[in-house]
Chain A
């Protein structure tokens, strides 16, 4: 394990996603300006799996919203394939923490949604919907409503819906945080398999260090407010990995040591302020 700025396999290609001097500040309800993200510089290579960890309130979810183009940064810019991001685009799909599945649509229709917006033909849509539902093992649930599914299944619907628009970049915001341990293990395996099969670039936000080490090629550690990149860890452990692997645990331990400083700092700030001033804009609904 080493601290390196770039993935060694593809140092010479153009980064898929490049964050340049990204800062974001916003007004809190009490009227003061709060700096949420402070000069973030990050390059993500094509096909790379990058995990972002940090204490809550470090702006990591907000960063995904910026990459998705749902919100502009206060300064700096997001480049995808060297093109500046000006708004949402189906080359980058965000899987929200709360999923945002459409309850008025059936599972199949949810998966189809992005393709429909693109104006894809019905036959093609149907074929792709079936393909992606098969990929996440939900073919039988095509005509169910999302509320009829378990948490893990809903998670997979969101994954299929995102993949079906065939984005180059998949942005995932603590997608497995609310799941039980077994379901999460299963979804880790599936996500790793799908990532390997589809070759997508994934930026994955989590507060779970072990999860980050288990999944990522690289783990980027954020500081507590304002969010800055504290350190990057290159995870060159062989795949497939498992959460219980000793090597995963050991590496996670090293990351956690640094994360703990930030968590302590966040607790101190919270203690001094009494309450957290405000939720991240757009991070929660």
Chain B
């Protein structure tokens, strides 16, 4: 209850300040919109379905891109974790590649795939693949060895051992990496969408700029934050809680 109170005070204050600044009309409304203006932009966007379409397009892309990252990252991460040679070579390369902002792949993606959706997907995959891979590798290393020994001892080997023992045993260790991978995927997607007529949220955001419609810009930003938060704070938190409960671990907070 106390926490709710703090939220109300903080966000109420923020909202009040915004309203005050907007009502003082220090800046013209196309530079500093009122909360009502943004509300109207949101309403209009959903009313003419353009926001719904943008959300659907963006979500579809991020799910495909992230899905590819997770599958590839798991294979790569496991390979790197289980082979000394790969660990020293590929592992080192992956860490150094991670310092490259994912949008730097955009020019390359354009030349490889052309100006289309595949180029966007490529950037999303490159943005999240590395964190998933590194998380998987870490998870596999942090996982107590006894589980794999117990699994082999009970007759599991090869794919069975991977699927029934190694993967579930490393899940609590990789879920934070998967979450980070999601965050990167989402950011990379929006960035890439802003650079190309693409129907997604990123493009709607740029459209607001082109039309000098600051209310629409803020409205789309709010949407991007909200969707990111829902997946991050609800979906992944939920998975983490579920795992912690199942494993008998205390919540991290």
Contacts and interface: CB of A to CB of B under 8 A. Distances in A.
Interface in B148-195: 149-157, 160, 164-165, 168-169, 171
Contacts of A102: 147, 150, 165, 168-169
Contact of B149 (A70, A89, A101, A104): A70
B154 A161 contact: yes
Contacts of B155: 88-90, 114, 117-118, 165
B168 to A, nearest CB: 4
Contact of B154 (A104, A114, A148, A282): A114
Contacts of B247: 103-104, 145, 147
A105 B153 CA distance: 17
A100 B149 contact: yes
Contacts of B238: none
Contacts of A89: 155
B49 to A, nearest CB: 43
A285 interface: yes
A117 B146 contact: no
B153 A68 contact: yes
A248 interface: no
Contacts of B171: 104
Nearest to B245: A145
B174 to A, nearest CB: 13
B153 A94 contact: yes
A147 B155 CA distance: 24
B246 A103 contact: yes
Contacts of A103: 246-248
Interface residues of A, number: 28
Given A70-B153, A93-B154, A145-B246, A98 B147 contact: no
B217 to A, nearest CB: 45
Interface string A125-149: 0000000000000000000011110
Nearest to A101: B150
Contacts of A116: 164
B154 A113 contact: yes
B244 to A, nearest CB: 10
Nearest to A116: B164
Contacts of A96: 146, 149-150
A28 to B, nearest CB: 19
| Main DSSP-derived SS at the B contact region | helix
A66 to B, nearest CB: 13
Contacts of A98: 146
B12 interface: no
Interface in B172-222: none
A285 B171 CA distance: 18
B195 to A, nearest CB: 42
11 contacts: A70-B152, A88-B152, A93-B153, A100-B149, A104-B169, A113-B156, A117-B154, A145-B247, A147-B247, A148-B248, A165-B155
A104 B146 contact: no
B140 to A, nearest CB: 14
A285 B141 CA distance: 12
A161 to B, nearest CB: 7
Contacts of A100: 146-147, 149-150, 153
B144 interface: yes
Contacts of B169: 102, 104
A236 B219 CA distance: 85
Contact of A104 (B150, B160, B246): B246
Given A93-B153, A165-B154, A117 B164 contact: yes
B84 interface: no
Interface string B26-57: 00000000000000000000000000000000
Interface in B231-251: 246-248
B144 A285 contact: yes
Nearest to A89: B155
Nearest to A103: B247
A101 B149 CA distance: 11
Contacts of A94: 153
